[in-house]
Each structure stands twice: as C-alpha cells, then as structure tokens.
C-alpha cells in the first residue's frame, strides 16, 4: 500500500505516477473488490417474505460502485411448489419523513429465482451534520408481495418484511479511492494480516513453543532461545505498518507474486 500512497511533489510526476501504479497494482485492487462482491452477491443471505417467498436485496451506495450506472436490485425466490400467475412486488425505503418506492409486476412466478432492478430507489448517499455525525439517504426498507386474485380482480398481500438498515456491510469494511474509482480493500488487508502472522510464526512462535519432531536436547533448546531473542526485534521492525506494506507490495511490484482469488469468503 505504501508504494501507492507516496505523495509526489509536482503535477507532472503525479500524472506519470497514476498510470504507472495503475499498471502495477490495478489487478490486485480488482481482485480485492471482486472478493467483496462475491461475499455480498445476491442470493447469499435470504430473508423470509411471507409463507411462500424469500428475498435478498442490494441497495447500492453511490460512492462504492464502479459501475457506469449503478442500480439497486432485489432477488425474489418462491420457496413453495405453488405457481403464481401474477404478483406485485413493492419496495419502499425511508428516512424520517421521506419515502421512496419502486414496484414491478411479475408473471408466471415458479421456483426459479427472479432478479428485479430497482431504478426508482435512490442510491445510498452519506451526509454529515454540523457535529460530523453521518447519515445515509435512508435507514429502513419494506418489501411487500401481493398476489393477484382473479375472483376479486384485485391484489392481496401474501408477504411483507420490514428491516432497519445498519449499513454495517459498508461501515465495517475498508475502502480507498484510486485511479478515479472506489475499491474495497478488505481482501488486501486480510492478506497483509496473514503475512504478518507468517512473520510472527517464523521469528517468534516456532521458537517460543515446542514443535512436532524437533530435537529435545539442551543444545537445540539453547539454539531456539537464541533465535527467539534475535527474532523478537526483527519481527517488531518487519511488522511495523509501513515496513509490512512495503514487504507485501514489493513482490507484486516485481511480478514475483500476485494476489489470487480465494474460495474462502469468510473473512
């Protein structure tokens, strides 16, 4: 990270710096951002919506999407064996006295999941008051499904869900702006933490605690003690934030190593 965050003295150097760092590090930021969306993609967390349906909703934040035209969306899944010829889906978001609505009419709804775009729902924005407290565009939402009843020629409510938005998926993550885009860097920071753990294991842990199949004689134990005494200050230096950042980015800079996508999304 430190390699990318250097402050350059002239506008000329800065204009050269951006394309160079983009060439060297863009792939790593793209992978980190992709890992965030994989963790939070539609269909990962469903909420019950009446007896027949469940849903997963993504309310986009204006500042955190690199899409040309970011738009919120909702995934609806019929978990029953019953088919619905016609249903009405209504989404309402609100904050204090302001409400926004979007709706859609869906036909022949079976157990195949349906993704519905919500262009009328405004993107989440962050505002600050005079005390530097921040607020989002809205802080709660409702999702309602109405099934069409042919006998009465009207819609009847079959499911409703009301949720308060905590925005934790945004607040608890780490973000940065590079090359006129916003990137989620949770995965990058996780890999830095894993790298720090490896350094600690090499310089301290393996010398501090007994290891399997190691010699038990006193000479080897003295050798481990010397390694521990030397390893502690070395680890302290290498694990310092700026030094660790250089050690992490240098192999990527030299094209010796690159950040890889992971199947493990639990971080």
Selected from 1.10.3470, 2.40.160, 2.60.40, 1.10.150, the CATH number assigned to the domain covering 47-171 reads 2.60.40
SS3 266: coil
Query: What is the enclosing helix (H) or strand (E) of 3?
Result: none
93 is written with which tokens? 């978001």
Q: Is the separation of the CB atoms in 9 and 40 below 8 Å?
A: no
Residues of the chain with CATH 2.60.40: 47-171
Q: Is the separation of the CB atoms in 97 and 86 below 8 Å?
A: no
Please report the DSSP string for 181-212 in residue order.
Answer: EEEE-HHHHHHHHHHHHHHHIIIIIHHHS--T
User: The whole model's pTM is what?
Assistant: 0.74
pLDDT in tens, the chain (267 residues): 444 544 545 565 667 778 888 899 999 999 999 998 888 888 888 999 999 999 999 998 877 766 678 899 999 999 998 899 999 999 999 987 789 999 999 999 999 999 999 999 999 887 666 665 667 788 899 999 999 988 788 899 999 999 998 877 777 888 888 888 888 999 999 999 999 999 999 999 988 887 777 788 888 888 889 999 999 999 999 999 999 999 999 999 999 999 988 887 676
Q: How far apart are CA 76 and CA 54, in angstroms?
A: 6
């Amino acid at each position: 990270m430190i390699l990318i965050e250097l402050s350059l003295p002239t506008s000329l150097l800065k204009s050269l710096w951006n394309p160079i760092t983009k060439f060297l590090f863009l792939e790593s930021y793209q992978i980190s951002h992709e890992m965030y969306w994989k963790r939070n993609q539609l269909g990962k967390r469903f909420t019950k919506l009446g007896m027949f349906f469940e849903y997963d909703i993504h309310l986009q934040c204006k500042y955190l999407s690199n899409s040309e035209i970011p738009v919120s969306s909702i995934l609806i899944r019929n978990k029953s064996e019953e088919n619905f010829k016609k249903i009405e889906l209504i989404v309402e978001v609100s904050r204090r006295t302001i409400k926004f609505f979007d709706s859609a009419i869906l036909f022949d709804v079976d157990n195949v999941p349906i993704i519905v775009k919500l262009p009328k729902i405004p993107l989440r924005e962050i505002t600050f008051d005079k005390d530097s407290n921040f607020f989002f565009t809205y802080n709660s939402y409702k999702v309602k499904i109405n099934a069409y009843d042919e006998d009465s020629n009207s819609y009847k409510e079959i499911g409703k869900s009301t949720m308060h938005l905590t925005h934790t998926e945004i607040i608890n993550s780490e973000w940065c702006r590079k090359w006129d885009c916003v990137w989620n860097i949770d995965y990058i920071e996780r890999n830095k933490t894993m790298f720090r753990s490896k350094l600690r294991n090499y310089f301290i842990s393996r010398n501090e605690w007994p290891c399997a199949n190691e010699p038990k004689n006193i000479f080897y134990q003295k050798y481990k003690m010397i390694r521990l005494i030397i390893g502690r200050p070395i680890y302290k230096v290498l694990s310092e934030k700026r030094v660790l950042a250089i050690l992490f980015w240098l192999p990527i800079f030299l094209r010796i190593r690159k950040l890889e996508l992971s199947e493990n999304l639990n971080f």
